Each structure stands twice: as C-alpha cells, then as structure tokens.
Chain A
Amino acid sequence: MYFLRRTLFAIPLLLVISALAFALVHAAPGGPFDRERKPASPEIEHNLKAKYHLDEPVWKQYGRYLGGLLHGDFGPSLKYRNHSVGDIIAQGLPVSLTLGGLAFCFATGLGIPLGFFTAARRGGWTDYTGSFLAVLAVCIPSFVLAPVLILVFAIKLELFPVALWETPWHMILPPIALGSFFVGQVARILREGMLTATQAEFVTAARAKGLGETTLLFKHVFRIAVLPVVSYSGPMLADLLTGSFIIENIFQIPGIGVFLVNSSLNRDYTVVVGLSLLYAVLLIALNLVVDFTYTWLDPRVKYE
C-alpha cells in the first residue's frame, strides 16, 4: 500500500520536474539553431522552427511534448538532426549503466571490507590507517583521480588503455576513478553502523552467552550495521549514474552524461528535458527499490 502510494506520488513529481526543466531551458536566451552556419536566411530559420513547432507558445509545446511522452516518444534531437532523443538514450544509457554498475561493485566490494575491519579493530593502527584511507578517498575528486590514474597506469606504466570503451581492459580505470569516493563513504557508514550496533543490548546478551567474537561480528553486528549502507546505496547509485559525465568526458566514453552538458549549452531542448526526466526516474525508482529492500532486510521497519 505504502509503495503503491509512493509510486503514484512519483507521477506528479515527474510532471513538476519536466515542467521545470522545460521552462528553464526555454527561458534561456538563444535557440538550438543559433550556431548553425550563419547567415541563414530568415525563411530557413522560420521553416526550421515551424518544423519543430518552436514557433508555438511554450505551454502548447509542453502539451505536445507530454503527448509524445505518453506514446514513449521523447521527441527529436534539435542538434543531432538524424537522431531522436530515444536513440541517444538507447545508445548511451547501456554504456553509462555499465560504468555506474562497475563503479558500484568497486565501491561496495572495497568499502564494505574496509569499514568492517576498521570497526572490528577499533582503536588499533588498522583502524587509523583504514579510516584515514576512507576519508582520503572521500576527499579526492574523480577529476583529480582520473588524470592521475591515466598518467601513472596508462601513460607511464602502459598497463591500461588511456581512453575509450571497447575491451574489458578499457573498463578498469574509469570505474575505479568514479567509485573511489563511494568506497570511502561506504566504509565510513559501515564503520559507524558497526560501532553503534556493538553497543546494542542483544550483542551484550549474545556475548554473555559465550558467543565467539567472530561469529558475533559476522552474524549479528554486521546484519544490523549493513542497513545504513543499503539505504545509502540508492542515492549512491543515482550519483554514480548522474555524476559520471566527468569520467565519461575524461576517458572519452560514449555514455549519456556527455550529451547532458553539451545539449544544455546548445539549447537542445528535447535532449535536456528528456535526460533530466530520465535521471529523475532513475533516482525515484532507486529510492523506492532501496526502501523496499530495507523492509525486507529489517522486519522491524514499517512504513505507513
């Protein structure tokens, strides 16, 4: 019931987002055809505008756009003439999803053990080194890490290709550069969760009954402590997917992030609105999935 309501609530939310994005891009001066070869005759410009209905009032264009959306049509790109927005998404989204998914695996695969061991060895040098590494990972922006990785591993040591997205060898440096921030975040969240969980009464009870430290940590503490990580993974995945354009830019990866920045500079109205909507849908859906997983993992939690 709760999840049904949340899903229904997403519809007006997406309407608001699309209207906002639509209004914002149309409010900006200049149009998508400004950077065409000049001087184009006024007739040509007029015809172009008429073809894409840009001569109509904005609310009418918006209505037309929504009508298209109902049929699953995101409209034509105004800049990449022979592509529709649907084509751009179909081409770029799988690449961005792969990149984000790999970065997610890297972040959790390294972050969870790091957080676990720093918490398990609390106060020792493992904890200090590990915790420092976690903070450091949070403080190195992807656009600093990526060029350093390229300089060291691709150019100096020639272990990996410098750019592009073709073989599995191309898919190692970009996810590391993208995911390292989240390694730190996951480790810090898990460590904090573990430290809180060790103070819980059921842990003291289990220990009093003579349960071994290792079993206690793995079977009881970890299961509670991982919950905040789960709830963080929704925003994290969304960030990995929406924040990948810098990495895509540096490594020349043909994902959708590149289009977002270029098209908002080019006033490619349909692409900007389409991609904003896509990101919003992803974010909302991921948050829903996370909340759903949460109730499944932790039966104590009830949403109403």
Chain B
Amino acid sequence: MSDQPSTTTPGPANGNGAAAAGLPHHASPARRAWRRFRRNRPAILSAWYLAGLLAIVLAWPLLLQVSGPAFAGLHDPDRLSDAQFAAPGARHWFGTDVHGRDVFSRTLYGAQISLLVGVVGAAVSLLIGVLWGAIAGYVGGRVDAVLMRVVDVLYSLPSIIFIIVLITTVGETLKQSHYVQHSPEVEGALRVSLLFIGLGAISWLTMARIVRGQVLSLRTRAFVEASRALGAGTARILFRHIIPNIFGVAITYVALTMPAIILYESFLSYLGLGVQPPMASWGTLIAEGVSQINPIRIYWWLIVFPGGILVSTLLALNFLGDGLRDAWDIKSK
C-alpha cells in the first residue's frame, strides 16, 4: 500500500451536506454528525448492544458479591467443581469447562480484559497516530517527509511477527526480573500493560496517515485562511479549527481500531502469548475450547459462547465505526 496514488481527503464538515439535509446553518459539525448518526439504525442498535454488554460485564462481579454464597459459589469464575463439562442449562447458563468452572462467568470476566485491551490499545494508537500525523501535516516539508517515510517502512514490516517476537522476548525478561518472581499479580498486570503498549504501537499507522491527510487539507481551507487573515495565531487555529475537525475522524478510527486490537489480543492470547492463566480473555477461553475438541463428545458451548460474544462485539464495533464514518462524512480513500 505504501505508494498508493492518494488524493487529498476533503474535510468532514462541508456545507452542502447540511443544506441537503435541510438543517439550520448554525448547527455545529458535531451536531450535524450526531443527527445523521441517530438515523443510522444498525449503528444505534450496536451502541445499545455495547452499552448493555458493558453494563453486564461491570455489574456481574458486584452481583456475585451481593448475592448469597450459593449463587456466588456456583458462578465463581475461578472455583473448580465436580460438574465437568456440564451442558448449558438452568444452573450454568453457558455450561462448564474441563475444571467445572462456569463458562458464563468466565466469559464475562474475560470480557473485562478483552474490552480493556481494546480501549487502552485504541487510546495508545490514537495518541501516537494523532500526534504523528498532525505534526507531519502541520509542519510539513522535510519533517513531514521523514515522519511519513517511517510510517511507510513500518507498514512494510510484518506486524504480527514483530509483536510475537517482541512479546516473547520482553515477556521473558519480565519473568526473570526479581520484582515479578514473587508476585504473580504484578506479572499479570505487567503482561497486560505490555499487550496494551505493543498492540497500540502497531495500530497507529493508519491513524497517522489519515490525520495527516486531514490536517493537510484543513490547513488550506478557506475558513482557516480567513481566521489567519483576521489575525489568529497558530495555537488558536490549531485548537479552534484543526483539532475540532480532526475529532470526527479520530473518534471514527478509534471505533474501527478497537475491533482490530481486540482481535489481535485474542489472537495472541490464543497462542498463549497474551494474558496468562488464571486470568482469562476471550482468546484464552476459545483456545481452551479448541483444546477440548475430540471425536467422541462435542463440547460446543466452550467455543460457541465465548466466540459468539466476541464476534457480536466485533460486529457491533464495526457497525458503530461505519455509522460514525458516515455521520462525519469521511471518505475512506
């Protein structure tokens, strides 16, 4: 993709969109985007789905604490029991795994890790991508050339290989250091942070390119020129005109980067390189399910439930991202 002939992207907030929709002229770009977004039914549904999932994921541990010991004991994600491979039913809604643990609870606890990695990873990629792209686009000249050349080079590296090598080596260093040797909690936390940083660090390239394109085209737009003519300084132009116009693009690409990062995380966890037991993420749950595949008995619930939640979350994030992109009227190419 590195040397694609690219056309500059027009800015998200152009006047004719508002005129066509019959909206008042004084509506801000964000307001107009919000009105367009509200009409997008799949995106709204996805937003509700994600909000509901988040609410359940956050409320479930509290519910276990509040409820009686019988209920809590049944659904403790880490408690081993004799009910191995129980099929889904009234007692265990998603069935149980090889150690008799409740798959429903484990899926929800796994969701904490998976969603957190998605959010933090996307935030890291947002930070690097916006800074990188905005500097390249605004400063221009030689700085721009160097910064974008770096992006081109990084694009041509096989990122998944890079992150596998990075995580195995740094992860091993962590394991050897004596801070970690005595407390598995610290090691777990460090490994998860490593995932955040690593995944964010390989996902910012597209963001940087898009932000740069936006900044380049915004710089020469009439309203920026007018503002400069009226005596506005660089800071005012940046914060009053450029950044608010990037906001839509940034939020859209955060929504589209999140599923990619969640997918990467479950990929790595699947390979045993991500979160380590007893912590779980969707990837490790699915990996456990796959390891139980045998020709005699089919434990479909070990794969279908965690996999189904993972797929539906990715689907919702994709629809949300597409909805945001349409609302902000961002041309993808």
Q: Which residues of A approach B to under 8 Å, CB–CB? A: 6, 13, 16-17, 21, 24-25, 27-30, 135-136, 138-141, 143-144, 146-148, 150-151, 155-156, 162, 192, 196, 228, 231-232, 234-235, 238, 242-243, 245-246, 249-250, 260-261, 264-265, 272, 275-276, 279-280, 283-284, 287, 291, 301, 303
Q: Hey, which bits of chain B sit against chain A, CB under 8 A?
A: 1-5, 153, 156-158, 160-161, 164-166, 168-170, 172-173, 176, 259, 263, 266-267, 270-271, 273, 283, 286-287, 289-290, 293, 295, 298, 300, 303-304, 307, 310-311, 314-315, 318-319, 332-333
CB <8 Å contact, A150 and B172:
no
Contact A139 B311 (CB under 8 A): yes
B126: shortest Cβ distance to chain A, in Å? 21
Choose from B158, B267, B311, B332 the contact partner of A280 (Cβ within 8 Å). Answer: B158
- Name B158's contact: one of A140, A250, A279 (CB within 8 Å): A279
Is there an interface contact between A151 and B173, defined as CB atoms closer than 8 Å? Answer: no
Are B293 and A24 within 8 A (Cβ)? Answer: no
Query: What residues of chain A lie closer than 8 Å to B170, measured between beta carbons?
Result: 28
Report Cα–Cα, A283/B161, bound state, in Å: 12
A77 to B156, CA, bound (A): 26
Q: Which of B160, B165, B176, B290: most chain A Cβ within 10 A? A: B165
Report Cα–Cα, A27/B153, bound state, in Å.
Answer: 23
Q: Give the contacting residue for B310; candidates A135, A144, A249; CB below 8 A.
A: A144
Chain A residue contacts of B4, Cβ below 8 A: 231
Q: Which residue, of B3, B161, B270, has the highest number of chain A Cβ atoms within 10 A?
A: B161
A139:B314 contact, CB within 8 angstroms = yes
CB distance from B98 to the nearest CB of A (A): 15
| Cross-chain contact of B270 among A29, A246, A279 (Cβ < 8 A) | A246
Q: Residues of A contacting B160 with CB < 8 Å?
A: 242-243
- Cα–Cα distance between A272 and B166 once the two chains are bound (Å): 12
Are A155 and B318 within 8 A (Cβ)?
A: no
Ranked 8 nearest A-B pairs via Cβ: A28-B169, A144-B307, A139-B314, A279-B158, A139-B315, A264-B168, A29-B176, A147-B290
Q: How far is the CB of B253 from chain A (nearest CB, A)?
A: 16
Report whether A151 and B161 are in contact in the complex, using a CB–CB cutoff of 8 Å.
no
Q: Determine the chain B residues whose CB is within 8 A of the CB of A144 once the complex forms.
A: 286, 303, 307, 310-311
Evaluate whether A138 and B318 lie within 8 angstroms (CB atoms) in the complex, with A28-B172, A148-B303, A231-B4 already known.
yes
State whether A141 touches B168 (Cβ < 8 A). no
10 more CB-based (< 8 A) A-B contacts, given A28-B168, A138-B318, A151-B298: A136-B311, A144-B303, A246-B271, A261-B273, A264-B168, A276-B158, A276-B165, A284-B156, A287-B156, A301-B5
Are B157 and A17 neighbours in the complex by a CB distance under 8 Å? yes
List of B residues within 8 angstroms of A280 by Cβ: 156-158
State the CA gap A279–B168 with chains docked (Å). Answer: 18
Which residues of chain B are within 8 angstroms of A243 by Cβ–Cβ distance? 160
Q: Is the CB of A242 within 8 A of B161?
A: yes
A25 vs B167: C-alpha distance when bound (angstroms): 11
State in angstroms the CA–CA spacing of A162 and B267 once bound together. Answer: 21
- Which residues on the B side are within 8 Å of A234 (C-beta)? 1
A162 touches B169 (CB 8 A): no
Chain B residues contacting A275 (CB-CB under 8 Å) are 161
> Cα distance A27–B267 when bound, in Å?
24
Query: Of A29, A150, A235, A260, which contacts B1 at CB under 8 A?
Result: A235
CA distance A6 to B3 in the complex (A): 10
User: What number of A-B contacts does a CB cutoff of 8 Å give?
Assistant: 127
Q: In the complex, what distance in Å separates the CA atom of A13 from the CA atom of B283? A: 33
Interface pair A139/B165, CB less than 8 Å apart: no
Please give, as numbers and ranges, the residues of chain A lying within 8 Å of B267 by CB-CB distance: 141, 143, 246
Q: Which residue of A lies closest to B332 (CB)?
A: A192
**A265 closest partner in B (C-beta):** B168
Q: How far is the CA of A282 from the CA of B332 in the complex (A)?
A: 27
Question: A303 to B307, alpha carbons, bound, how many Å?
Answer: 44
Q: Give Cα A245 to B310, complex, Å.
A: 20
Residues of chain B within 8 A of A279, CB atoms compared: 158, 161
Give Cα distance in the complex from A238 to B286, angstroms: 25
A242/B158 in contact, CB under 8 A: yes
A30: which B residues are within 8 A, CB to CB? 172, 176
Residues of B within 8 A of A301 (CB): 5
Per the bound structure, the CA–CA distance linking A150 and B303 in Å amounts to: 11
Closest partner residue, chain B, to A276 (CB atom): B161
CA distance A195 to B325 in the complex (A): 16
Minimal beta-carbon separation of A192 from chain B (angstroms): 7
Q: Is the CB of A135 within 8 A of B315?
A: yes
In the complex formed, the residue of B with least CB distance to A181 is B263
Given the known interface contacts A135-B315, A141-B310, the answer about A24 and B161 at a Cβ–Cβ threshold of 8 Å is no
State the CA gap A28–B295 with chains docked (Å): 40
Contact across chains for B166 and A24 when beta carbons are under 8 A apart: yes
Complex: A27 Cα to B173 Cα, angstroms: 9
CB contacts (< 8 Å) of B165 on chain A: these are 21, 24-25, 264, 272, 276
Can you list 20 A-B contacts (CB < 8 A)?
Answer: A28-B169, A28-B170, A28-B172, A135-B319, A138-B314, A139-B311, A141-B310, A141-B314, A143-B283, A144-B307, A146-B290, A148-B303, A151-B300, A228-B333, A245-B271, A249-B271, A279-B158, A287-B156, A291-B3, A303-B5
Closest chain-B Cβ to A9's Cβ sits at a distance in Å of 9
Q: Which chain A residues border B319 with CB–CB below 8 Å?
A: 135
- Chain A residues, CB < 8 A from B298: 151, 155-156
Q: Which residues of A contact B289 (CB under 8 A)?
A: 147
Chain B residues with CB under 8 A of A196: 333
CB-CB nearest in chain B for A141 = B263
Name the one of A151, A249, A265 contacting B293, with C-beta atoms under 8 angstroms.
Answer: A151
Which single residue of chain B is at the shortest CB-CB distance from A150? Answer: B293
Query: Whole-angstrom distance between the alpha carbons of A27 and B300 in the complex?
Result: 42
Q: What is the bound-complex CA distance between A192 and B271, given in angstroms?
A: 34
Complex Cα distance A303/B6, Å? 12
